[in-house]
Amino acid sequence: MAIITLTTDLGDRDIYQAALKGSILKLLPEVNIVDITHSVAAFNVQQAAFILKNSFYYFPDATVHLIGIDTVYNTDTKYLAVSYKNHYFVGSDNGIFSLMFDADPDEIVEINIMQDLKFLHFPLADIFVKAACHLASGGKLSKIGLPVTSIEKKMNLQPVIEKNVIKGAVIYIDSFQNVITNITKEFFNKVQQGRRFVLYFKRNETINQLSWHYNEVPEGEKLCLFGISDHLEIAINKGNASGLLGLNLGDSVIIDFE
């Protein structure tokens, strides 16, 4: 069965999500629509990229991922359809693809499907849906657009190394209020090389060991671990780490190795 996933900032209160799904089902009644999230903060490309980057590969090959972030009509914005690691992505050329992908896409086209003026303010339910349904039906990228060799570039905030110290930052806070940093497991292991460490963050809080799971410490105690995204998380077992520890997006974290 064809699969189309949805990652948007449409929320759950208005008609927009229903309009999007209804438009898909009109064109492709048998498709399996999967909501990744509709709770991305409005126009927050970085947040959407983090969520999709860490979730798309759980889906079968040939899944189509429709990205509804910053899609309002603009004469300067391109709409792209992209092939990457046997998946398809449809979204605006607003930097999200450069934030999501660790390598160059396999194929990129600028979508040239005619815009229905009725949906000029909401191309997500028109151009994006038509492109996604075409790909979900087994259609080729070349039939819906012209080849593109470059995309809008944005850079993720990267951790830095200074002597025996990693300086990182908070890049995401999940719905459990776990605090996710930009320090990946691969990066951490490369620097650590088996050494002991102390993790420093706001309010002079420290953690000096990694946990395998959240329940490894008593309820209410803080911990750090590498979560499902393979990024270093700061959490409180059955607690609100962001609120209780005063950690917000962009805040610094420091790991000091012996």
Give the integer Cα–Cα distance in Å for 70 and 202: 33
Per domain, the residue ranges of the chain are 3-147, 160-257
pLDDT above 70 coverage of the chain, percent: 97
Whether residue 52 has pLDDT greater than 70: yes
* Mean pLDDT of the residues in the chain: 93
- The per-residue pLDDT for 117 is 63
Structure tokens at 116: 């229905």
CA atoms within 13 A on the CB side of 188: 23
Residue with tokens 């449409």: 10
**pLDDT on residue 119:** 65
**Architecture of the 160-257 domain:** Beta Barrel (2.40)
d(CA 98, CA 188): 23
Instruction: Flag whether pLDDT at 121 surpasses 80.
Output: no
Question: Which residues, listed in sequence order, are joined to residue 89 by a DSSP beta bridge?
Answer: 65, 82
- Summarised one tens digit per residue, pLDDT across range 153-162 is 998 889 999 9
Our separate counts of H helices and E strands in the chain read 6, 15
Tens of pLDDT, residue by residue over 217-251, are: 999 999 999 999 999 999 999 999 999 999 999 99
Can you tell me the mean pLDDT for 199-209?
A: 90
Domains 3-147 and 160-257 share a fold: no
Q: How confident is the model at residue 203 (pLDDT cuts 50, 70, 90)?
A: confident
Half-sphere exposure for 221 (CA within 13 Å, toward CB): 12
Residue 118 has pLDDT above 80, yes or no: no
- What is the average per-residue pLDDT within 101-128? 86
Kindly report, residue by residue over 84-96, the tens digit of the pLDDT. Answer: 999 999 999 999 9
Range with the largest mean pLDDT of 85-89, 111-115, 117-121: 85-89
Q: Alpha-carbon distance 98 to 154, whole Å?
A: 6
Average pLDDT value for residue range 47-68: 97
Q: Using CA of residue 83, residue 124, residue 43, residue 77, what is the dihedral sign?
A: positive
Model confidence, pTM: 0.89
Q: Which two tokens stand for residue 7?
A: 């990652």
Q: How far apart, in whole angstroms, are the C-alpha atoms of residue 69 and residue 27?
A: 22
pLDDT exceeds cutoff 80 at 74 = no
Class in CATH terms, 3-147: alpha beta
Q: Which of 240, 224, 221, 237 is nearest to 174 (CA)?
A: 240
Kindly state the average pLDDT of the residues 99-107.
94
Helix (H, G, I), strand (E, B) or coil at 177: coil
Burial of 149: CB neighbours in 10 Å, binned 0-12, 13-18, 19+: exposed
Q: Which string of b and e fits 153-170 if b means at least 16 CB within 10 Å?
A: eeeeeebeeeeeebebbb
Radius of gyration of the chain (CA): 20
- 120 vs 138: CA distance, rounded Å: 27
Q: pLDDT band at 120, cuts 50/70/90?
A: low
